[in-house]
Structure 1
């Protein structure tokens, strides 16, 4: 399921990054909304956020909302996620489980 989601996401993002007609301008900044190297770095960081959210121990609705936020606002959503998501609490690998006495 995760692979299907990531492949659909990549197809959507890469289709949006197609070059815009820049005939005679010679200005590389006029190419598609993908943003070249910067867009690729943002895409990789967003994929890392998607993987981290989907592997967390959150409920389904918060997972969908975080993924939707990052999908609709790639840079701002990623920053908001890293600042306000309380990642350490929802990380499945965030430490050891406590051993209860008398068990």
Structure 2
């Protein structure tokens, strides 16, 4: 890379740093729900791992695709006392992530 190309590249990088970035999306209710659902999913997985409970692939998919916080909260509470995955995932998630995002 020539000296001129390096100078142009450095100038472009500095200009890009100065441009404001719209972060309002990350503060939206949808984004907040998605983050909360992701956290709940993570903690449910950790409890299952600690309890040595292995959900079926269909149950993993249900957990991953759900972002209804009430259902995820119920599943989390059940995961603390469950002995099998069937004890946890006996109800459907009314708000799957894929349909709610589109």
**TM above 0.5:** no
* TM-score, length-scaled by structure 2: 0.38
- Larger RCO: Structure 1 or Structure 2 (Cα < 8 Å, ≥ 6 residues apart)? 2
Greater helix fraction, Structure 1 or Structure 2: 2
TM-score (norm: length of structure 1)? 0.37
Structure number with larger C-alpha Rg: 2
